Amino acid sequence: MSLALSDPRASALAGPAAWRAALRREPPRAQVLLLGVGSVGSAFLRRWERLASLPELRGLRLAGIANSRGELALAPGRDPLAAIAQLAASAVESTSSRDGDLLGARGTRIVVDATASDAVASSHAAWLARGIHVVTACKLGQGTSLERWHAIRRAVERSGARYDDAATVGAGLPLLRTLRELRRGGDRIHAIAGVLSGALGWLLSQYDGSRPFSDLVREAARRGYTEPDPRDDLSGKDVRRKLLILARAAGFELEADLIAAESLLPEALAALVPGDVESALELLDVPMRERLDAARADGRRLRYVARFDIAGARVGLEALSPEDPLAQGGGCDNRVTIRSDRYDERPLVVQGPGAGAEVTAAALLDEVLEIARRR
């Protein structure tokens, strides 16, 4: 999709024809295509603008941006933030961003995936096979079927293109990197345990019984901590994907159905259409209060924990002793413990903000800059 050059909106942007002509005039540089301009994608563009004076960024060109309905080619030097509004205003159907067409066929090419789209994730391996680097916040590339995960790994090995997934778990915290470095150093990973959901971490650290759980879910949604439909967090599906990505990076090629996931959703709430969920959140209150009272009776704290060890992989609600590292901290922090050959008796602990558009976007741009540096 492109805006016609005669269109007055094309003053800030130009369509593919103008863009291709500009490319012919200038030698090809590294090209970046941003898919998804929601919370994370727009934070990425703001950061790009803020850091524009970095030498690596000066060597990069933002070739285009896309949302679910279309894409825009950006002429060199155009304002990408203005482009978001133009993209939103245009309702032209297009699927060509999935082919990476806007990146052309030469030079260093990078796709940044800031969508939650399965269709986009299903193209990761094909882009990599064509030598296009993929930098992703979307968990659906490596957190779904083992077949897709293998296809991505194979394409990386054959083409040498980079696949960066730091933003998929812990929003860029040094988790996947640490697991891979430990393995490169000869360690076997024995166990991983963590609070991997910013939304559930916040909800459970706030929940002391003074307010109904449904009240807190509404507040978390208002603060932007939950997914648009909070059931995506409360079902444990998102945490299961994250644990799958961590376990695979740790060397264990698990299929998703090997991870048992406990949903916090009563059946009646799980069955509702999205529009009816908000007014029915009270269905959570009695079962969650029962879990809280039982945990407190033992002097324990409720946390939604993902675990992977010799006994298997599971995600669910646990009552933890207050001394447990996973029971510490607050807010939207992620907390993860890793046991390996060298960290056997006492685990390595990684903790920090594990959600939020700004930290996620920073992790995506870090990798784009790294690719530019290595070019």
Ligand X SMILES: NC(=O)c1ccc[n+]([C@@H]2O[C@H](COP(=O)([O-])OP(=O)(O)OC[C@H]3O[C@@H](n4cnc5c(N)ncnc54)[C@H](OP(=O)(O)O)[C@@H]3O)[C@@H](O)[C@H]2O)c1
Interface residues with ligand X (CB under 6 A)? Answer: 35-41, 66-69, 97, 114-117, 119-120, 137-139, 167, 171, 355-357, 360
- Distance (Å, whole) CA 37 – CA 115: 8
What is the DSSP secondary-structure string of 78-135?
--HHHHHHHHHH------GGGGTGGG-SSS-EEEEE-S--HHHHTTHHHHHHTT-EEE
Exposure string for 210-227, b = 16+ CB within 10 A, e = fewer = eebbbebbeebbeeebbb
Q: Quote the least distance from Cβ 361 to ligand X, whole Å.
A: 9
Nearest to 317 by CA among 203, 159, 151, 176: 203
Q: What's the CA gap between 215 and 200, in Å, rounded? A: 14
Q: 94 CB contacts (<8 Å, ≥6 apart)?
A: 1, 66, 69, 70, 71
Contact of 336 with 182, CB cutoff 8 Å: no
Q: Is 242 one of the annotated active-site residues of the chain? A: yes
Residue with tokens 């079927």: 145
Q: How far is the CB of 37 from ligand X (least distance, A)?
A: 5
Closest approach of ligand X to the CB of residue 113, in Å:
8
Q: Which is nearer to ligand X, 93 or 267 (CB)?
A: 93
How far apart, in Å, are the Cα atoms of 260 and each of 38, 119, 237? 31, 26, 10
Dihedral over Cα of 263, 264, 269, 275: its sign: negative
Nearest approach, Cβ of residue 332 and ligand X (Å) = 8
Catalytic residue among 242, 248, 307, 339: 242
CB of 68 to ligand X, least distance (A): 3
Q: For residues 138 and 264, which CB has a smaller minimum distance to ligand X in the complex?
A: 138
Pick between residue 69 and residue 342 the one whose CB is nearest to ligand X: 69
CB nearer to ligand X: pick between 120 and 284: 120
Residues 6+ apart with CB under 8 A from 245: 139, 142, 143, 165, 168, 169, 176
In the chain, what's the furthest Cα-to-Cα distance? 73
Angle at 14 between CA 10 and CA 19, to 5 degrees: 170
Cβ atoms of residues 2 and 72 within 8 Å: yes
Residue nearest to ligand X (CB): 38
Least gap, CB of 35 to ligand X (angstroms): 4
If the CB atoms of residues 67 and 235 are measured against ligand X, the closer one turns out to be 67
Q: Compute the least distance from the CB of residue 222 to ligand X, in Å.
A: 15
Minimum CB separation from ligand X for residue 90, in Å?
11
From the list 252, 114, 90, 209, the residue with the least C-alpha distance to 171 is 114
Q: For residue 64, list its beta bridge partners.
A: 33, 73
Q: Which is nearer to ligand X, 45 or 292 (CB)?
A: 45
In angstroms, the Cα distances linking 324 to 72, 195, 305, 321 are: 49, 12, 12, 5
Q: Tell me 322's DSSP state.
A: T
Strands 312-320 and 301-309: antiparallel
Taking the least distance from each CB to ligand X, the nearer of 10 and 359 is: 359
Of 138 and 244, nearer to ligand X (C-beta) is: 138
- Give the residue numbers marked as catalytic: 242
